[in-house]
Each structure stands twice: as C-alpha cells, then as structure tokens.
C-alpha cells in the first residue's frame, strides 16, 4: 500500500475528505455556500477546534454572538465550545476549507517533526 492518498474533488457544495483520503488525525471539508445561503444550524464541538480558510467570496460567521466578517484570504480558528454558524454574502457566494483537529493535540510541528535525509 502506498504511503500517500490522492483524489480529485469536483466543485460540490460540501466534500469531506476524512474517508476519501483515509485521514487519521484531522477532518478536512471543502464548502461552498451560494449567495444568501447559510449553514442551516448553529453547532459546536466536544473536542475539536476548527480552522477555516476563506478561499473565495464574502460572508460572515456568528461566533458566540459576535459577527465576524469574512473575505477571501481570511483564516479563523474557533475553539470547540464556541457556538458558530456561517453565512454567504447577500449577493456573493463564499467558499471555505474547514480543518478540524483535536484541541491541544499538536506536540511537534515543522522542523521538530521532520527528519531531513542527506
């Protein structure tokens, strides 16, 4: 079995990569809300923080009652317990990547977790 997975993702409203790439330490989803639409529920998590990257468009998130304006290029990290809901702009869609990982689970990163072969 190869030490990697590769897929091609079409332009769907939502694609979860957990099963498609056999992810073991994170969930990643690709999301698009059309103009005027929203995620139809408020949610929070028990253990996982979420990191959002806005890839295109504009919209907003309501996080614990605070309205956070969003535009392409923005990154947002949200604690598990925070209540959140996402909205596209009135006249513009929004696309974003959501990365979900267990809060406080990162032990090593970048150079500390790499082995450089000579």
Q: Taking 90 as the threshold, does the pLDDT of residue 2 lie above it?
A: no
Tens digit of each residue's pLDDT (9 = 90 or more) over 81-105: 999 999 999 999 999 999 999 999 9
- With respect to residue 35, please indicate whether it lies within any of the assigned structural domains: yes
pLDDT in the model for residue 74 = 98
- With respect to residue 114, please indicate whether it lies within any of the assigned structural domains: no
- With respect to residue 109, please indicate whether it lies within any of the assigned structural domains: no
Q: What is the mean pLDDT of residues 11-27?
A: 88
Give CA–CA dist 73/24, Å, rounded.
Answer: 27
pLDDT in the model for residue 41 = 94
Number of domains in the chain: 1
Residue 23 phi, psi dihedral angles, 5° rounding: -70, 140
CA distances from residue 19 to 44, 45, 54, 81, 106 in whole angstroms, order as listed? 22, 20, 23, 25, 22
Domain that holds residue 42: 14-104
- With respect to residue 54, please indicate whether it lies within any of the assigned structural domains: yes
- With respect to residue 2, please indicate whether it lies within any of the assigned structural domains: no
CATH number of the domain enclosing 81: 2.60.120.10
Give CA–CA dist 23/67, Å, rounded.
Answer: 32
Q: Calculate what percentage of the chain has a pLDDT beyond 90.
A: 72
- With respect to residue 8, please indicate whether it lies within any of the assigned structural domains: no
Indicate the DSSP class of residue 107. -
- With respect to residue 7, please indicate whether it lies within any of the assigned structural domains: no
């Amino acid at each position: 079995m190869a030490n990697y997975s590769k897929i091609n993702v079409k332009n769907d409203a939502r694609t979860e990569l957990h099963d498609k790439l056999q992810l073991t330490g994170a969930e990643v989803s690709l999301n698009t809300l059309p103009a005027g639409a929203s995620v139809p529920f408020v949610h929070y998590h028990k253990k996982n923080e979420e990191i959002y990257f806005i890839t295109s468009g504009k919209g907003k998130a309501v996080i614990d009652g605070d309205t956070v304006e969003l535009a392409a290029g923005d990154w947002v990290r949200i604690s598990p317990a925070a209540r959140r809901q996402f909205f596209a702009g009135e006249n513009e869609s929004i696309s974003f990547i959501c990365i979900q990982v267990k809060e406080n689970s990162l032990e090593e990163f970048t150079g500390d977790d790499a082995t450089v072969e000579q």
